[in-house]
Structure 1
Amino acid sequence: MSLRRKLLLVALCTLALPVAGWLYVRQMETLLREGQVQALTASARALARSLLVSGAALPAGGEGWYVQRAETPITVDGYGDDWAPLTPWSQPLGTHAKLLLAEDADGFYLYAQVRAVRRVRADAGDANALQADHLVLSLERDGQRRRYLLASAAPGPFAARVLDPPAAGFPDSLSGQWQEDGSGYRVELRLPREAAFDRLGVGVHDGGAADADPLGVDSRPLWRYSAALAQELSLLAPDGTRARLLAPPGWVLARSGRLAGTGADGAQPGWFAALVYRSLLARRLEDAQPWTDDAPRLDLPEIARARAGEPAAVWRAGETRGSVVLAVAAPVGPPDELHGVLLLEQASRTVPLLANRALLGLLLTSFGVLLVAGLILLAFATRLSMRLGRLRDAAERAQQADGRLDGLFAKGRFPMSEAPDELGDLARSFERLFEAVGGYTDYLRTLASKLSHELNTPLAIVKSSLDNLEHALASRDALPAEARPYLDRARDGVARLGTLVRAMSEASRMERAIAAAEAEDVDLREVVRGCAEAYRPLAGARRLECALPEAPLTLHCAPELVAQALDKLFDNALSFTPPDGWLRLSLRARDGGAEIELANQGPPLPAAMQGRLFDSLVSLRDKATPGDAPHLGLGLYVVRLVAERHGGAAAARNLEDGGGVAFILFLRGLPRQRLA
């Protein structure tokens, strides 16, 4: 990973700032919520106590039958189609029946649905009516009651049998509709509006149950929505809240007010702000559907907690965009004398607006700081990368392949060696290193010429001493025959040492000659073609091929150096090519320069020697026999010097089929000299 990317990664760590701010805003939003919960809970408690002391007509404790308001006309036919809107809030009656009660301007309606797989049928007037499937209806008021037996032997209209003496305010007869199907039977009837009763008892009896009381009823007070209680709530409830008084099981007895969803400044957040609040800031919100204002009964966990005597609060989604609603349920009365549950709701956009604004300001500030920090780090990383690149380029240019320096220090000190920071220390270390390497390289480069100069005199003394020794012994006839081979070996060793000394001197002169060669624009095709024609007589029976490009290949170079390098390559290839083998010389353009390849048939290169072929005094030829001139391995070294002088390189590789070797000379050209 590059330095700039690493610093960019470090800059991204500043993202912890907006994350910490986001957590802070969430905590702030939680604190605002808790403050509102405490305030609304106190209001609910105060309102519940006010209802108790004001003498409002609160429901008594225990169970009751809730009478719903019939919004659509109900036809008494024994079928439940008219009751469909009210069916979700049916009340259990016994273990296998449901009861629905409703009223409108025309009267009071009762609809009972009983599940019974096995039926015992009889009419209400039959003697065995109490042993058949039947319902008992009890109307009660001020300690008086009147009971009615509801039974029918067949589907259709029925007439109830009165079980008690006449009483004022109670009807003398009842009629209704009885319908049956495979799952059981349904009873529907209407009581006249004039019937005055405040308690209702209903009993469902199975004709097959002999141990049950055939006249038993479940008598409960009637609960219904009260306009008087609603008026009382509207006078006591705080502004901007919706209050609902519930019976202990959750039936709505009164409601007042409505949810006011505007914020402190009347602003309304957009859909994006609402989405941000719901997704990033708001704690879990309950669904708004169970809290609908149209439901006659609310069955919620908060109401169950309030029935146990403990106020409960919950945050839910509001009905309008971007709003939240706080609902508090408080008990009305102590748990042992519970009269109901007070539900107080307050809609608020203030909390979302404040949280959104705080988050937006924090994000803008954080991302601004992040952007500035990122730009600063990017600029710093770019400058640092450029300075490191200068050091790298200077280090790569400072030393050539043969260890010589390219005159970098002749123009001044190493780049950035004057800098006072750590890069300056590194540059100064490079400078000292290259100075030491340059001095050692100069010493090694001149060592050959120094050795050749210093060894010439000792070698001449040894050679003359051997000559004088041989002449003195021969003149006296004192040279033993067995000493002659030792004397010849000494002469041969001195000759070999002389050859090595001369070769080292020639190598030094050759380096200077290559460095001083003058360049010109030359068509390399003519140079390679001329060399190939000169090599054909030397190849003998060997086959020599020459492949040249059709278009001219002009290069600014020293043609005599190129020819000299080709001579060395050809001499090397010829020594390894069998007498009936082949050689192939080719020229082609490559990468803004030229590539000359000389391939020959012969043994492959050893893997251990491929990287050292072009070094000085390295040879793969067989060791010379005594008396022969030694092979010094300077030919390929000259090829490398010529290639580097032309800005290229020399390389060698084995052919793909393993039948030979190819030597490649890549030339870019000599730099053109500018006229002052």
Structure 2
Amino acid sequence: MSLRQKLLLVALCTLALPIAGWLYVRQMEALLRQGQEQALTATATAVARSLAVTDVPLPQPGRGWYVQQAVNPIVIDGYGDDWAPMTPWSQPLGKQGKLLLAEDDNGFYMYIDVRVARRTRADADDANALSADHIILDLEQGAQHRRYLIASAAPGAFTALTLDPPAGDLPDRVIGQWQEDGSGYDAELRLPRGLGLSALGVGIYTAANGGDPLAEDTRPLLRYSPDLSQELAQLAPQGARARLLAPAGWLLAQSGQLTTSGPQPSWWSSVMYRSLLANPLEDAEAWTSDAPRLDLPEVQTARRGASSTVWRQGEERDSVVLATTVPVVRGQDVVAVLLMEQASRAVPLLANRAFLSLLVTSFGVMLVAGAILLFFATRLSLRLGRLRDAVERAQLDDGRLDGQMIQGHFPMAEAEDEIGDLARSFQKLFEAVGGYTDYLRTLASKLSHELNTPLAIVKSSLDNLEHAELSDEAQPYLARARDGVARLGTLVRAMSEASRMERAIAAAEPEDVDLVDVVRGCADAYRPLAGARRLECMLPEQPAHLHGAPELIAQALDKLFDNALSFTPADGWLRLSLRPLDDGAEIELANQGPPLPAAMQGRLFDSLVSLRDKATPGDAPHLGLGLYVVRLVAERHGGVAAARNLDDGSGVAFSLRLHGMPRQRLVS
């Protein structure tokens, strides 16, 4: 990973700023909500207490039968088609029945649906009517009540049997329609509108189940009250909608409308608020205003005597609604539940504005910080690149260090920061290495020059000793001394030749040559020298052009062939091959013989390193300069010399990978 990429990752750490701001805005939005919750709950509690202490007609504690407002005209036919809009809010009647109550300007309607598997049929005026399947209906007007027996032996019209004497203006006859199907029966009837019923008792008797044939469930009647709605409208604050509910959730009164003020936000602002800022909101469908009953967890909580709040989605875009439920308590009983709702755009608008301001500020800070870091990384990368280029240029093609460049033109050595310290350290290191390298390069010529005079003195002394009379015992020692002097002289001459060879290789003039011709010519010259050994030459069909010094390449091949010949058995083989490359060529000379020691493979091409057996007295010493010359030739051609053992273990292979010498520019 580059330095700029690393600094880019560091710049990404500034993302913590908008994330922290986003969390702060969410917390601010939660605090705004909490403040509104407390204010609306206090208002709703005050309204609930006012309702409890006044003489408004609130329902009595306990359950009641709710009478809905008829949506469509109801035809008494025993079928439930007219009741379809009100069916979702049917009230359970025992374990097997459902009850629907409705009223309009034409009367009071009742629809009873009973599901039973086995039937026992009888008309209401039959003697065994109480032992057959039937319905008990009890109508109450204050303290007066009257019961009726509803039964029918077949589908069609029915007339209820009166079980009690006349009471008040309760009807003497109750007629309706009875319908049956394979799973039960339905009874539908209508009563006069002006009866003023205060309670209603309904009981279902099934002969197959047994029980009390006169049992009934009597409950007070609950209905929507316009008078109670007017009283609620006087107490509820403006801009809020209040609904008074029975403990079971039935709507008793309602006032006010949900209104929102302020500018209409854009669609993307709404999406941003709902997806990034708003805490979870309830769905608005369960809070619809046209439902006669709200069976919500908040209503159930208030029924148990505790208040609760909830935030839900508003009907208008980017609006939220706060709803609170508080119990209405008379004495020790919860007689109703007050639901108060208030719509608002203030919370979303404030949150959006704060978040947009945060985004703009954070983006600006990130942009400036990123630009500064990018500029710093680019400048630092350029300075390091200059230092790298200078280090690479400090080494010349022949391996020596450019002392003039190091001492006078090393970049950023005057800088006062850490890169300047690094540049000065490189400069000092190169100066020391350059001086040591120059010393090593001139050591051979210095030694050869200094050793010539002592060797001449020793040689002349030995010549004088030959003319002196020596005992027979001293003669072997004199011969050994002469042999040592001869070896030292050979060594001094080789060191001088090595120094001259390095200078000759460095001064060689390059030209465009075909390596195929060079290698073929060398192979033809080596065959007479190979003797009984087999020499195979593998050349490409196409020319292999290279800009280099052919005499140096031939000299390197001579050294390789001389080295291979000394290790190849008398009946062994040698293989010389040339392989073109995309950026040069590779020459390889393989021979049969012992493998290379693992410890010596990295040192073969160093100066004064040899694997040949130590020479015996009288033999010419081998100084190990041949492979060193091969390395110098390869480096002069921009390449490398390498040695490896063959995969089958039959011998070794020495290779020259050449890329060519740089072309010289003509100076006009």
Indicate the TM-score class for this superposition, using the shorter chain for normalisation. Answer: over 0.9
How far 1:257 sits from its partner (Å)?
Answer: 2.7
2: CA distance between counterparts of 1:322 and 1:585?
A: 85
In structure 1, the residue matched to 2:264 is: 267
Deviates more, 1:135-144 or 1:461-470: 461-470
How far 1:588 sits from its partner (Å)?
Answer: 4.8
In structure 1, the residue matched to 2:4 is: 4
In structure 2, the residue matched to 1:231 is: 230
2:388 to 374, 392, 399: 392
How far 1:329 sits from its partner (Å)?
Answer: 1.2
2:552–2:633 Cα contact (<8 Å) kept:
yes
SS at match of 2:553: helix
1: CA distance between counterparts of 2:8 and 2:155?
A: 84
Letter in 2 for 1:164: D
Is 1:131 the equivalent of 2:131? yes
- State the Cα deviation string for residues 436-490 of structure 1 (Å, max 9, x = none): 111222222222222222222333333333443444234xxx223xx54444333
2: CA distance between counterparts of 1:460 and 1:3?
A: 63
Q: How does 1:316-355 map to 2 (within 5 A)?
A: 316-334=312-330, 336-355=332-351
In structure 2, the residue matched to 1:519 is: 510
Is 1:41 the equivalent of 2:41? yes
In structure 2, the residue matched to 1:419 is: 415
Deviates more, 1:516-525 or 1:141-150: 516-525
How far 1:551 sits from its partner (Å)?
Answer: 5.5
Q: 1:579 to 1:401 in 2, by over 3 A?
A: farther
Deviates more, 1:374-383 or 1:419-428: 374-383
Q: 1:242 to 1:269 in 2, by over 3 A?
A: farther
Q: How does 1:222-371 map to 2 (within 5 A)?
A: 222-261=221-260, 263-264=261-262, 266-270=263-267, 272-334=268-330, 336-371=332-367
Letter in 1 for 2:640: A
Total equivalences in the alignment? 667
Letter in 1 for 2:667: L
Is 1:662 the equivalent of 2:654? yes
1: CA distance between counterparts of 2:8 and 2:358?
A: 22
2: CA distance between counterparts of 1:16 and 1:638?
A: 63
Q: 1:211 to 1:552 in 2, by over 3 A?
A: closer
SS at match of 2:468: helix
How far 1:499 sits from its partner (Å)?
Answer: 1.4
Is 1:107 the equivalent of 2:107? yes
In structure 1, the residue matched to 2:172 is: 172
Letter in 1 for 2:35: G
1: CA distance between counterparts of 2:419 and 2:292?
A: 81
1:635 to 601, 612, 626: 626
In structure 2, the residue matched to 1:646 is: 637
How far 1:242 sits from its partner (Å)?
Answer: 2.0
- State the Cα deviation string for residues 128-177 of structure 1 (Å, max 9, x = none): 33333322211111322221111233444322111122234221111223
SS at match of 1:597: strand
Between the aligned residues of both structures, percent identity stands at 72
In structure 2, the residue matched to 1:443 is: 439
Q: 1:116 to 1:592 in 2, by over 3 A?
A: closer
In structure 2, the residue matched to 1:215 is: 214
2: CA distance between counterparts of 1:665 and 1:27?
A: 70
SS at match of 1:221: strand
- State the Cα deviation string for residues 528-550 of structure 1 (Å, max 9, x = none): 44433333332334444445555
SS at match of 2:195: coil
SS at match of 1:360: helix
TM-score (norm 2): 0.92
SS at match of 1:622: coil
Letter in 2 for 1:383: R
SS at match of 1:190: strand
In structure 2, the residue matched to 1:94 is: 94
2: CA distance between counterparts of 1:184 and 1:582?
A: 111
In structure 1, the residue matched to 2:144 is: 144
How far 1:313 sits from its partner (Å)?
Answer: 1.1
Is 1:496 the equivalent of 2:495? no
In structure 2, the residue matched to 1:609 is: 600
2: CA distance between counterparts of 1:597 and 1:508?
A: 27
1:655–1:662 Cα contact (<8 Å) kept:
no
SS at match of 2:469: helix
Q: How does 1:526-537 map to 2 (within 5 A)?
A: 526-537=517-528
2: CA distance between counterparts of 1:109 and 1:211?
A: 28
1:378 to 374, 391, 395: 374
2:472 to 479, 497, 506: 479
- State the Cα deviation string for residues 76-103 of structure 1 (Å, max 9, x = none): 3333333333222122223443211112
How far 1:524 sits from its partner (Å)?
Answer: 4.1
Q: 1:306 to 1:665 in 2, by over 3 A?
A: closer
In structure 1, the residue matched to 2:452 is: 456
Q: 1:407 to 1:552 in 2, by over 3 A?
A: farther
Letter in 1 for 2:660: R
SS at match of 2:561: helix
2: CA distance between counterparts of 1:666 and 1:209?
A: 109
- State the Cα deviation string for residues 585-622 of structure 1 (Å, max 9, x = none): 44454344443333334444333322212111112223
In structure 1, the residue matched to 2:590 is: 599
2:406–2:430 Cα contact (<8 Å) kept:
no
In structure 1, the residue matched to 2:161 is: 161
1: CA distance between counterparts of 2:574 and 2:455?
A: 41
- State the Cα deviation string for residues 288-346 of structure 1 (Å, max 9, x = none): 22111121101112112222333221001222332221111122334624342221112
1: CA distance between counterparts of 2:440 and 2:419?
A: 31
How far 1:27 sits from its partner (Å)?
Answer: 0.6
- State the Cα deviation string for residues 219-263 of structure 1 (Å, max 9, x = none): 2221111222233334443333222111221101122332224x4
In structure 1, the residue matched to 2:667 is: 675
1:98–1:114 Cα contact (<8 Å) kept:
yes
SS at match of 2:484: helix
Deviates more, 1:592-601 or 1:373-382: 592-601
Q: CA RMSD in A?
A: 2.7
Is 1:626 the equivalent of 2:617? yes
1: CA distance between counterparts of 2:436 and 2:397?
A: 14
2:560–2:654 Cα contact (<8 Å) kept:
no
2:537–2:575 Cα contact (<8 Å) kept:
yes
1:603–1:659 Cα contact (<8 Å) kept:
yes
Gaps of at least 5 residues in structure 1 are none
2: CA distance between counterparts of 1:88 and 1:407?
A: 99
SS at match of 1:596: strand
SS at match of 1:513: helix
In structure 2, the residue matched to 1:574 is: 565
1: CA distance between counterparts of 2:397 and 2:607?
A: 13
1:309–1:334 Cα contact (<8 Å) kept:
no
How far 1:629 sits from its partner (Å)?
Answer: 0.5
1:505 to 471, 493, 496: 496
2: CA distance between counterparts of 1:507 and 1:209?
A: 125
Letter in 2 for 1:42: A
2: CA distance between counterparts of 1:479 and 1:337?
A: 145
SS at match of 2:19: helix
Q: 1:334 to 1:14 in 2, by over 3 A?
A: farther
1:169–1:196 Cα contact (<8 Å) kept:
no
